[in-house]
Chain A
Amino acid sequence: MSTALAVTVLSLIAAPPLSVELLLQNHQFHPDRLVVPAGTKFVLQIRNADDAAEEIESYALNREQKVGSARTLTLYLGPLTTGLYDLYGEDHPDIAQATIEVR
């Protein structure tokens, strides 16, 4: 009982995960580079301001999801080791590119 209470209290006071955002506009990510700390879970939110859906893909991050027009995609990521993690839009891979720098 006391353990359950402690877990509940801890979950209530635990800090929310770090949240970072990318804007997809004119098939380009803004910003095109994000920095997040190593060893930490974080939430990446990608807001698609374009008129068309985009399929967001990153082999490094092990994610592949479509984000509709005027919708926001939420990805739960990490903890990651230091390094560079690329992601791109499958429909516009030449310009829809972003990098997450973990350090």
Chain B
Amino acid sequence: MRTRCIPHAWPAMVLSLGFAAHAAADVIYSPAVEQGETAIEWRSTLNAGGTSEHKLEWETSPTAWWRTELLATATLAPETPRRWDEIAFENVVSLNPQGRDAIDFGVLTEISRSLHGDAAWAAELGVLAEVATPHTVTTLNVSSERALTAGAPVAGAFAARWRWRRGARFEPGVEYHANVESVEHMGSVRSQRHSFGPSVLGRIRLGREVLRYEAAWLVGLTQGSPASTARLQLEWEFR
């Protein structure tokens, strides 16, 4: 039954703009891959109400079309123990060279495993797209994630960001994130998560190394959304 539903879920996700994974990692992936880049990254997403998710990752790009990452995730809630609760292996594959076509495309794949409970595995698949003009970059991500256990729902995610390339150290923009717990039972728009808000990105050179940052403040647009979400991402790129 489920195998018949999954292909129909993708167009439903795209049309409804109700998406993203239940883990709600507010990350926006570019399909562009920078060959030779190696970095350590910290991502934090903090929701109003006290829940938060933190990821520590190591990434490297062996080629101009492949970026691979190892991640550890801690999801925290009030009165829960502080511990790592998931590890993941993530890959971004660029499908066309940056700038060759009007739209740059890529694919995101992730396999993750819970470190507690039933130690369940989960898989995520996403499509990444980016359009750049001399002064702006627009990035779109559509993805779905499913625990590899019988009867588990397929979660969906959509994220979009527009940014103004006004200078390497400070690029203002806006971003939007949407999540549904199950693309097969999407429910009303009010029950889904839809968040929107301003963001800033930048990179600061420190000798031979580079510190990249992203930060965003998202406001929930529906009852199913956190009232507000703060997102912070720091990447230390070294050679």
Contacts and interface: CB of A to CB of B under 8 A. Distances in A.
Interaction A to B: yes
Chain B contact surface mostly: loop
Contacts of B98: 63, 75-76
Contact of B137 (A59, A62, A78): A62
The 7 lowest CB-CB distance pairs between A and B, nearest first, are A66-B36, A76-B99, A76-B100, A59-B168, A66-B35, A64-B34, A65-B35
B35 A77 contact: no
Interface string B125-156: 00000001010010000000000000000000
Nearest to B165: A62
B64 A62 contact: no
B224 interface: no
Interface residues of B, number: 17
Interface of B: 34-37, 64, 97-100, 132, 134, 137, 165, 167-168, 208, 239
Contacts of B35: 65-66
Interface residues of A, number: 16
B166 to A, nearest CB: 11
Contact of A53 (B34, B36, B99, B132): B36
B69 to A, nearest CB: 18
A74 interface: yes
Contacts of A90: 208
Interface in A44-81: 53, 55, 59, 62-66, 74-78, 80-81
B34 A62 contact: no
B36 A55 contact: yes
A77 B99 CA distance: 6
Contact of A74 (B36, B97, B132, B165): B97
A20 B167 CA distance: 26
Interface of A: 53, 55, 59, 62-66, 74-78, 80-81, 90
Contact of A80 (B100, B134, B167): B134
Contacts, number: 34
A66 B167 CA distance: 22
A81 B36 contact: no
B100 A62 contact: no
A55 B35 CA distance: 9
A70 to B, nearest CB: 15
Contacts of B36: 53, 55, 65-66
Contacts of B165: 59, 62
A76 B132 CA distance: 12
Contacts of A66: 34-37
Nearest to A93: B205
Contacts of A74: 97
Given A59-B168, A81-B134, A65 B34 contact: yes
Nearest to A43: B100
5 contacts: A59-B167, A65-B35, A65-B64, A76-B100, A81-B134
A34 to B, nearest CB: 16
B183 to A, nearest CB: 33
Nearest to A64: B34
A9 B149 CA distance: 50
